[in-house]
Amino acid sequence: MAEATGNQESKDYGIGIPVDNPVYKLKGSNNYDWGMKDRLSRVFNPKSGRTVMLAFDHGYIMGPTSGLERIDITISPLLEYADCLMCTRGVLRACIPPTYNKAISLRCSAGSTVLTELNDECVGVEIEDAIRLNTSMMAVMVAIGSKFEALTVRNLCKMIETGNRYGIPTLGVTAVGKELTRDARYLGLATRVLAENGAQVIKTYFCEEKFEQVTAGCPVPIVIAGGKKLPELDALKMAYKAVDQGALGVDMGRNIFQAENPVAMIQAVKAVVHDGEKPDKAFKLYNDIKSDRKSKDKSADLPQGNI
Ligand code: 5RP
């Protein structure tokens, strides 16, 4: 307990120095409460204002997706390079050591798989479990324009209500069904609907034309999913164009963990997103890290010690 007597007299009140009242710079986020901002600052690097989220939640609809058969082997070496891990609670508890101290974007919607009709989902994770897992963001799939539109918007609103109660942001994920076109008109509508309903961050897809209209029309941060595996240089070009046109990062899965060298790829993506590196330079970085790792692997095969 503090002593009542004998304390140094307080004298440095900084009289005349105005109190700094910094604006919270993340797009659309200045009016949130402290806890919400703290969690968003774990997802979006406060220096660059951007994020590299590593998505490996695919198993919840696709089972053991190529590259995710053994998360302990393939994903563990990537964790240190990501700002935020996007995964299910099952994989988080079973495969991710709680020592990485990374932001978690927890997949909280659940439902149909690729074996039936996608997007018939509910909110599958209670807020208490999200809190137990120290979640920084809760992800809900929303299928605008599909027959599950109203159902999935209801899921989103439910998650936002509970998230707001506890200061946890909700990531609205725009699902794209086979029947929907991924153009700026559709993506602009879908992302705006999710933001209007209160999602603090939106994940969507990049489109080649008018993507800057999608980001401009969305009042909160957009991150892009990578989608199906592309050649590495093309994936880096996509990430570059997306952030150049207003996305605040990537939530990328297959284009990282299915790359020929995933550890090199996540570092190249990071260079694009956080340092604004041009795709060609980032691809060179990818190749340099790849060959460096190859020669290290080879030297590990040589006999060790004095020879
Ligand atoms: C899976 C998802 C993924 O998180 C999302 O699609 C990002 O991964 P990818 O870059 O592989 O598309 O929502 O259900």
Residue ranges, the chain, pLDDT below 70 = 1, 177-178, 298-307
Question: What was the pLDDT predicted at 305?
Answer: 45
Q: Is 120 domain-assigned?
A: yes
Contact 84, 102 (CB under 8 A): yes
Report the chain's mean pLDDT, rounded to a whole number: 94
237 classed as catalytic = no
Question: What was the pLDDT predicted at 250?
Answer: 98
* Catalytic residue chosen out of the listed positions 102, 203, 237, 270: 203
Domain that holds residue 160: 34-229+247-258
* Alpha-carbon span 220 to 197, nearest angstrom: 11
Question: What was the pLDDT predicted at 302?
Answer: 54
- Residue holding tokens 């009042």? 219
Distance 114 CA to ligand 1 centre (A): 13
Domain CATH for 165? 3.20.20.70
Reduced to 3 states (helix: H, G, I; strand: E, B; else coil), residue 220 is coil
Buried b (16+ CB within 10 A) or exposed e, 263-291: bbbbbbbbbbbbeebebeebbebbeebbe
- Output the pTM of the full model: 0.94
Quick one: which atom of ligand 1 is closest to the CA of 175? 13
Residues with CB under 6 A from ligand 1: 55, 57-58, 61, 86, 173, 225-227, 251-255
Pocket test for ligand 1, best of 173, 229, 256 (most atoms within 8 A of CB): 173
Please name the residue whose Cα sits nearest to atom 5 of ligand 1. 225
Pocket test for ligand 1, best of 58, 140, 206 (most atoms within 8 A of CB): 58
In single-letter form, the type of residue at position 85 comes to: L
Q: Is 238 domain-assigned?
A: no
Query: Using CA atoms in the order 28, 31, 35, 41, what is the torsion angle rounded to 10 degrees?
Result: 30
Q: Is 153 domain-assigned?
A: yes
Question: What was the pLDDT predicted at 98?
Answer: 96
Q: Tell me: the pLDDT tens digits for 234-271?
A: 999 999 999 999 999 999 999 999 999 999 999 999 99
Quick one: which atom of ligand 1 is closest to the CA of 62? 14
Q: Is 155 domain-assigned?
A: yes
Q: Is 280 domain-assigned?
A: no
Question: What was the pLDDT predicted at 307?
Answer: 37
Question: What was the pLDDT predicted at 298?
Answer: 67
Q: Is 274 domain-assigned?
A: no
Q: Is 240 domain-assigned?
A: no
Q: Is 268 domain-assigned?
A: no
Query: What total number of domains does the chain contain?
Result: 1
Q: Which of 82, 83, 87, 108 is nearest to 170 (CA)?
A: 108
